[in-house]
């Protein structure tokens, strides 16, 4: 062994620790987490398939600038009315491919598909559904900036072609997570027992445990919002932004990819917001495969996520692609934004009361 100045005993301990860390792969971690559950093997296999999807997407992204036909638009528009990028289509298909013949997932629904994709051959045994956003932060794709994939795991119910069983509140999610395609590829997940992060070791092709039981600080300096929409927000959001602009201790961070922004907040605290606008009162983000899975994670980490008037996880969707305003992050920072909303609602109701009392009966 090279002379590191450490005693042999200490070197042995270091070696053991680093081996132990290298062997804490995602599938082993899921098995450990779920050891009391009869579903442990299935969920470990399911998370392994999601990890494979992440690796395939990461591999393609890492070479995107070197290959023809990877970047740019397809010329199609998706069900959301947004221009589809070639990477959106690729990533969407990857999630479908990894679950074919898996016996694990019999229905997938995503931002890129109007209707769920059924895998009937998995259904006699497949007990899960997967809701996902294959590429979150699409506008970053062609600029080699951070991107993500978001996923929510649910219990399979209902028959083929029936969307209704997917319209559940976020509380019914069995698990959720995201893959962050940044300088390194990370996978962050929760199966209802804390939030855990993994980093892809490209030399091993494995996601290795980075941090267990992540806890979001109750307050953070970061506020993360597209301030270009200021002119079309409702007054409480403008008031909040005016407040942070004139108060020491706040700093703005907004990348255009929510997974990246939420990852920072998960680790360091703060608040991410995508409020409704006059053009889009429900905001931009989709409940089932964007807001709800991230809300599941942040709650597991001790934070909160709300529409402004209701906890995100309590919202029962009426439509597969339903949008929702989102305020997510550290408990105290979310509460601060809410205080502006409540204050505004109170002032409005006081004004209505006064004008009603002045109207001759």
Q: Which residues bind ligand AHM (CB under 6 A)?
A: 82, 111, 133, 136-139, 226, 256-258, 284
Q: What is the nearest approach in angstroms of Mg ion to the Cβ of residue 142?
A: 16
Alpha carbon distance 174, 40 (integer Å): 12
Residue number with CB closer to ligand AHM (137 or 236): 137
**CB-based closest residue to Mg ion:** 136
Q: Which does 138 bind (CB under 5 to 8 A by kind): ligand AHM, Mg ion, none?
A: ligand AHM
Residue in the block written with tokens 């699409």 = 138
Residue 78 contact among Mg ion, ligand AHM, none, beta carbon within 5 to 8 Å by kind: none
* Distance separating alpha carbons of residues 7 and 13, to the nearest angstrom: 10
The answer to whether the CB of 102 falls within 8 A of the CB of 120 is no
Residue of 295, 322, 320, 298 lying closest to 310 (CA atoms): 295
Q: Does 136 bind Mg ion (CB under 5 A)?
A: yes
The nearest distance, CB 96 to ligand AHM, in angstroms, is 17
DSSP three-state, residue 139: helix
Between residues 191 and 244, which has the closer beta carbon with respect to ligand AHM?
Answer: 244
Contacting range for Mg ion; rule: CB under 5 A; set: 44-52, 128-136, 213-221, 317-325: 128-136
Closest CA to 107 of 94, 116, 95: 116
* Least distance (Å) between residue 77 CB and Mg ion: 15
* Concatenated DSSP letters of 152-202: EEEE--S-TT--GGG---GGG-SEEEEEEESSSEEEEEESSS--EEEEEET
* Cβ closest to ligand AHM, residue 99 vs residue 272: 272
Residues 96-125 that bind Mg ion (CB under 5 A): none
Partner interacting with residue 82 (select from Mg ion, ligand AHM, none; CB below 5-8 Å by kind): ligand AHM
Closer by beta carbon to ligand AHM, 127 or else 323:
323
What minimum distance in Å lies between the beta carbon of 282 and Mg ion?
14
Q: Which C-beta is closer to Mg ion: that of 43 or that of 258?
A: 258
Partner from Mg ion, ligand AHM, none contacting 299, C-beta within 5 to 8 A by type: none
CB-based contact 312:323 (threshold 8 Å):
no
Q: Which is nearer to ligand AHM, 165 or 256 (CB)?
A: 256
Alpha carbon distance 151, 132 (integer Å): 4
Q: How far is the CB of 78 from ligand AHM (least distance, A)?
A: 9
| One of 42, 88, 112, 133 touching Mg ion (CB under 5 A) | 133
139 binds, among ligand AHM, Mg ion, none (CB under 5 to 8 A by kind): ligand AHM
Q: List Cβ neighbours of 297 (8 Å cut-off, separation of 6 or more).
A: 176, 177, 178, 188, 189, 190, 195, 262, 266
C-beta of 215 vs 253, nearer to ligand AHM: 253
Asked if 226 contacts 274 with a C-beta cutoff of 8 angstroms, the reply is yes
Q: Record the tokens describing residue 244, joined without a space.
A: 């942070």
């Amino acid at each position: 062994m090279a002379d590191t100045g450490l005693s042999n005993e200490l070197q042995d301990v270091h070696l053991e620790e680093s081996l132990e860390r290298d062997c804490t792969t995602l599938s082993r971690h899921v098995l450990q987490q779920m050891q009391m559950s009869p579903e442990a093997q299935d969920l470990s296999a399911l998370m392994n398939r999601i990890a494979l999807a992440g690796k395939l997407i990461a591999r393609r992204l890492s070479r995107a600038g070197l290959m023809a036909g990877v970047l740019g638009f397809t010329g199609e528009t998706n069900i959301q009315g947004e221009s589809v990028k070639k990477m959106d289509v690729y990533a969407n298909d990857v999630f479908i491919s990894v679950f074919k013949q898996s016996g694990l997932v019999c229905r997938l629904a995503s931002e890129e598909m109007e209707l769920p994709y059924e895998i009937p051959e998995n259904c006699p045994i497949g007990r899960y559904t997967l809701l996902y956003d294959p590429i979150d932060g699409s506008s970053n794709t062609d600029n080699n900036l951070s991107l993500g994939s978001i996923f929510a795991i649910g219990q399979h119910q209902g028959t083929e072609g029936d969307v209704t069983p997917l319209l559940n509140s976020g509380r019914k999610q069995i698990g959720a997570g995201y893959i962050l395609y940044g300088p390194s590829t990370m996978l962050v997940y929760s199966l209802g027992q804390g939030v855990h992060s993994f980093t892809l070791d490209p030399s091993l092709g494995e996601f290795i445990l980075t941090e267990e039981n992540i806890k979001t600080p109750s307050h953070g300096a970061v506020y993360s919002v597209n301030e270009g929409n200021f002119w079309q927000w409702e007054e409480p959001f403008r008031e909040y932004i005016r407040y942070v602009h004139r108060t020491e201790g706040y700093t703005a961070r907004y990348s255009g990819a929510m997974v990246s922004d939420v990852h920072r907040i998960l680790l360091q605290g703060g608040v991410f917001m995508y409020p409704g606008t006059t053009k889009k009162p429900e905001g931009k983000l989709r409940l089932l495969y964007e807001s709800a899975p991230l809300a599941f994670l942040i709650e597991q980490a001790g934070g909160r996520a709300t529409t402004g008037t209701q906890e995100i996880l309590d919202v029962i969707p009426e439509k597969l692609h339903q949008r929702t305003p989102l305020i997510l992050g550290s408990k105290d920072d979310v509460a601060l934004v809410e205080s502006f909303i409540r204050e505004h609602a109170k002032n409005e109701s006081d004004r209505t009361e006064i004008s009603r009392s002045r109207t001759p009966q």
